[in-house]
Amino acid sequence: MADAKCATGKCEDKTITYEAVKAIADNILSRIKVKPVIGIICGSGLGSLTEAITNAQNIDYKDIPGFPVSTVPGHAGRLVIGMLEGLPVLAMQGRFHYYEGYPLVKCSLPVRVMKVMGIEYLMVTNAAGGINPTYKVGDIMLIRDHINFVGFSGNSPLRGPNDDRLGPRFPPMTDAYNPALITRALSVAKEMGIPDVVKVGTYCFLGGPNYETIAECKMLHTCGVDAVGMSTAHEVVVAQHCGLKVFAFSLITNKSSLDYEKKEYANHAEVVAVGKSRESTCRELMCRMIKSIAAERGSSGSADCGCTT
């Protein structure tokens, strides 16, 4: 895959060219039977969101030239392409995290591939620690906004030469999480009878892979963070840059410690286990959102949401 050098030639992260993104998009499109409209990124323990996809075709990341491969337990490492609630979708069972060693431009490469394939909506999920003390394990937080701590130092997937075919040099991040989709998700939560479980809040992206100290959690709380994780923000920055409509939610898999008297010890096995225990609810929320988008677009979703618990 051809990588372009940054202007000074000294950038540690190389820019991935439009041509390289298009080559990957064309490779995938040449192997699948539908043209996806919605892209889905499944978070830790949430890969089974894809089980409701019908006429599914699977493509392992390792079989896509130029695509990274997943290295994290709970991230299978394949694309699942097919129909969901009347719309063609492409789902990623496994994402790429900065802590795996990939530069952010590579972590978010699949989002650009989705855009060049013609995808219009990006639905992102993740597992996150609950900083907001009112949140409980198993709650679902609709992401209204994010704090991108990794980006504060200039570490951005948009760093390097900008190709206007992928988006503008200086994209705004206001409404990066589509407000209309959040409003719709709140209605969906009511329909599902889970309004108390579904919150709206701010997600914070830290580099990981360690979980937070208690002092860090206290600081994040002061900063207005509701949930903390190790993904999503860089994907959404790229999605907003290239003009995808984004809907995202965090599954609260553990409570973050804000108090030395009530210590919590986060671990990945627990994160994945909580993901599994909440998979049917998360899947139903996702399916109902897609069904409503299908209805809005005039595509016929199935009469019943095929994902009910």
Ligand X SMILES: Nc1nc2[nH]cnc2c(=O)[nH]1
Ligand Y SMILES: O=P(O)(O)O[C@@H]1C[C@H](O)[C@@H](CO)O1
Query: Under the rule (CB under 6 A), what is the footprint of ligand X?
Result: 127-129, 206, 208, 211-212, 228-230, 253-254, 256, 266, 271
- Choose the one of ligand X, ligand Y, none that binds residue 95, judging by a C-beta under 5 to 8 angstroms depending on kind: ligand Y
Task: Determine the Cα–Cα distance for residues 49 and 31; give it in Å rounded to an integer.
Answer: 22
- Choose the one of ligand Y, ligand X, none that binds residue 256, judging by a C-beta under 5 to 8 angstroms depending on kind: ligand X
The reply on whether position 231 binds ligand Y by CB under 6 A is: yes
User: Does the annotation count 268 as an active-site position?
Assistant: yes
Q: Which of 75, 146, 234, 241 is catalytic?
A: 75
Burial class of residue 159 in the structure, from the number of CB atoms within 10 Å of its CB (0-12 exposed, 13-18 middle, 19+ buried): middle
Among 15, 108, 126, 202, binds ligand Y (CB under 6 A): 126
Beta carbon of residue 28, minimum distance to ligand Y (angstroms, whole number):
21
Q: Which stretch binds ligand Y (CB under 6 A): 28-36, 140-148, 214-222, 226-234?
A: 226-234
The reply on whether position 268 binds ligand Y by CB under 6 A is: yes
Task: Determine the Cα–Cα distance for residues 11 and 157; give it in Å rounded to an integer.
Answer: 12
Among 68, 130, 157, 229, binds ligand Y (CB under 6 A): 229
User: Does the annotation count 256 as an active-site position?
Assistant: no
- Choose the one of ligand Y, ligand X, none that binds residue 182, judging by a C-beta under 5 to 8 angstroms depending on kind: none
Burial class of residue 95 in the structure, from the number of CB atoms within 10 Å of its CB (0-12 exposed, 13-18 middle, 19+ buried): buried
Beta carbon of residue 151, minimum distance to ligand X (angstroms, whole number):
15
Burial class of residue 306 in the structure, from the number of CB atoms within 10 Å of its CB (0-12 exposed, 13-18 middle, 19+ buried): middle
The reply on whether position 95 binds ligand Y by CB under 6 A is: yes
Whether a cis peptide bond, with omega within 30° of 0, leads into 168 is no
48 has binding-site annotation = no
- Choose the one of ligand X, ligand Y, none that binds residue 254, judging by a C-beta under 5 to 8 angstroms depending on kind: ligand X
User: Does the annotation count 44 as an active-site position?
Assistant: yes
**Residues forming the active site:** 44, 75, 97, 99-100, 127, 230-231, 254, 268
Binding-site residues for a purine D-ribonucleoside sit at 212, 254
Binding-site residues sit at 44, 75, 95-97, 127, 212, 231, 254
